[in-house]
Amino acid sequence: MAYPQLTITFLGTGTSTGVPMIGCGCYVCTSPDEKDKRLRSSILVQSANTTIVVDTTPDFRQQMLRIDNKTLDAVLFTHPHKDHTAGLDDVRPYNFFFKKPIEVYANSLTEEALKREFAYVFSDFRYPGIPDIDLITIDDSPFVIGDIPVQPITVWHHKMPVYAFRFGDFTYITDANRIDEKEKDKIKGSKIMVLNALRHEDHISHFTLNQAIALAQELQVPETYFTHISHQLGRHQEVEDSLPPGIHVAHDGLKLMI
């Protein structure tokens, strides 16, 4: 199958607190390297005709301004945690300039959280200036946004099901510590994979660096980039230099073409 050419922009590569972490003076948080400054994890997926954001983090406005992004067709949500949803209100300028709702794709669990946390968006009374969104319920069935094919992949964030997404030959996985074998089959054959790698020590709901490396090697994806990184992982370049061939640490602003 022929897929459209995609540009992937890493809007943020940090964990829920970002890097540097508020109040921390550690070796990583005080790094002078711009690659060690990480907003919360999100990506922009673009074809020639379609622009999608995966997760609207608390940093969404800053992320859009930082890359001077002027168009948005849809938002895809991976799961309902606040570090992935809190920026939804800031889709409003796209409503204003394009005079249309933003399509928002989420599973039923995430929909429930959005309706609770952004109740004013879904109220019968449409207060002037609130976000105008078209909420679309998704399951594990594939679908298309514009000209970009989307395959949801269920991964596990401790006991919470989270959606990873495959866009053609590119797979994006965040907030996971386990993937069932049948879901791994949906990832195999990808040319590029993004995977969360929180830190070195075990964590209840995220892959460690070694676990992420092992999964990348198991799935035999030619290129893998790690995201959702905490200050506990280490400085960017030092971690990058320690990784096997074909495996990298992503950083904010990184662009991939596929």
Full DSSP string of 151-187: EEEEEEETTEEEEEEEETTEEE--S-SB--HHHHHHH
CATH number, domain 7-257, options 3.40.50.11540, 1.10.150.120, 3.30.530.20, 3.60.15.10: 3.60.15.10
What gap in Å lies between CA 104 and CA 147, rounded to an integer? 16
Position 124 scores a pLDDT of 86
The string of pLDDT tens digits covering residues 53-77 is 999 999 999 999 999 999 999 999 9
Q: What is the pLDDT along the chain (258 residues), one digit of tens a residue?
A: 678 999 999 999 999 999 999 999 999 999 999 999 999 999 999 999 999 999 999 999 999 999 999 999 999 999 999 999 999 999 999 999 999 999 999 999 999 999 999 999 999 888 888 999 999 999 999 999 999 999 999 999 999 999 999 999 999 999 999 999 999 999 999 999 999 999 999 999 999 999 999 999 999 999 999 999 999 999 999 999 999 999 999 999 999 999
Q: How many CB atoms lie within 10 A of CB 252?
A: 26
CA distances to 10, 103, 225 from 68, rounded to whole Å, are 13, 21, 24
Answer whether 44's CB lies under 8 Å from 55's CB: no
Measured torsion, CA atoms of residues 222, 12, 209, 84, in degrees rounded to the nearest 10: -110
Answer whether 15's CB lies under 8 Å from 229's CB: yes
Position 1 scores a pLDDT of 67
Q: How many CB atoms lie within 10 A of CB 93?
A: 13
Q: What is the pTM of this model?
A: 0.97
Domain positions in the chain: 7-257
What gap in Å lies between CA 167 and CA 174, rounded to an integer? 15
What gap in Å lies between CA 181 and CA 46, rounded to an integer? 29
| DSSP class of 229 | B
Closest-CA residue to 216 (of 158, 169, 173): 173
